[in-house]
Amino acid sequence: MEQSVEKKYNKWIVVLSVAIPLVVALLFGVNLRKLGYDVEPLSFLPPIYATINGITAILLVVAVLAIKNGKRALHERLIKLAIACSVAFLGMYVAYHMTSDSTKFGGEGLVKYLYYFILITHILLSIVIIPFVLVTYVRAISKSFERHKKIAKITFPLWLYVAVTGVIVYLMISPYYAH
């Protein structure tokens, strides 16, 4: 039974794992103001979506602690909330970039290389994490808990890295936002 539930979701996992990064990349390149639309820049969003990334990181850590303490229902609720936060982040991130000009990082020297290393690994792993989160979630809802635990040991640190580095990227670039 576990395998049939997973099989049912596999095509959706593939579709979402490809579609989400493609749609985000496409929308990232669309600036509504440059296309002539009279929209206000959503410049208030970066601290909000950075905070949501921070909340996601906290939720992930608390969810792991919950499951280690045998609190499966709490673990499940926290993970669902972490997924919702990640989706909310993505929506706000795209909305901000569709209405605002990109901000150039102004740091120099070693800090510039550190920033770009963190940014690039954050972006790449934010793409990689999508199928991991989806597969991990599907294995849980299909009650394939041993297989869920195996992949969760990979998913958790990757997702946590993406959430934490999202906050770090914001903190590093925020001094350069136009005010």
pLDDT tens digit sequence for 46-95: 999 999 999 999 999 999 999 999 999 999 999 999 999 999 999 999 99
The phi and psi torsions of 90 (rounded to 5 degrees) equal: -60, -45
The residue behind tokens 């990232």 is 28
Q: How confident is the model at residue 8 (pLDDT cuts 50, 70, 90)?
A: confident
| Contact between residue 40 and residue 99 where contact means Cβ atoms under 8 Å apart | yes
Residue 135 DSSP SS3: helix
pLDDT tens digit sequence for 97-109: 999 988 899 999 9
162-167: average pLDDT? 98
Q: What's 100's DSSP letter? A: S
Q: Which amino acid is it at 34?
A: K
- Residue 59 CB-half CA count within 13 A: 20
Angle at which helices 72-99 and 110-141 pack, to 10 degrees? 130
111-133: average pLDDT? 97
Distance CA 176, CA 179 (A): 9
Angle at 17 between CA 15 and CA 22, to 5 degrees: 90
R_g (Cα) of the chain, nearest Å: 18
Q: Tokens in use for 22?
A: 């493609």
Quote the pLDDT of residue 6: 82
Quote the pLDDT of residue 4: 78
